[in-house]
Amino acid sequence: MPIPKDRNPKRTFKELRQHILTDLLKGRKTVNQLAKDTGINWKTVDNHLIWLKGRGFVRDVFVSSYVKIYELTDEGRAFLGVAEEAP
């Protein structure tokens, strides 16, 4: 069955993670901010952040029962091919 023209084809895990990491280059963000900015469902973003955190590409800088804030690590920047942030 062909994909309707008004719907995007499924993106690969690699593409989704690339979008998330690239968006984190702009600064610290919550799961919902990342979801809104990338157009990816919040639960999908949350699942990929768990994977990215496990690989050391992102870290959480604030966690509460209501919100998590993430930032890109130096490993994440290196993965994207971006120079490390100055201290």
Read off the pLDDT band of 83 (50, 70, 90). Answer: low
Q: Is residue 55 part of a domain?
A: yes
Q: Is residue 17 part of a domain?
A: no
Percent of the chain with pLDDT over 70: 84
Number of domains the chain contains: 1
Residue 80 has phi, psi (to 5 degrees) of -80, -10
Query: 2 vs 73, which has greater pLDDT?
Result: 73
Q: Is residue 68 part of a domain?
A: yes
Write the CATH number for 37. Answer: 1.10.10.10
Residue 32 CA to residue 81 CA, distance in Å, equals 25
Whether the predicted pLDDT of 7 surpasses 80: no
> pTM for the complete prediction?
0.82
Q: Which domain holds residue 43?
A: 30-80
Q: Is residue 59 part of a domain?
A: yes
The predicted model gives 52-65 an average pLDDT of: 95
Read off the pLDDT band of 12 (50, 70, 90). Answer: confident
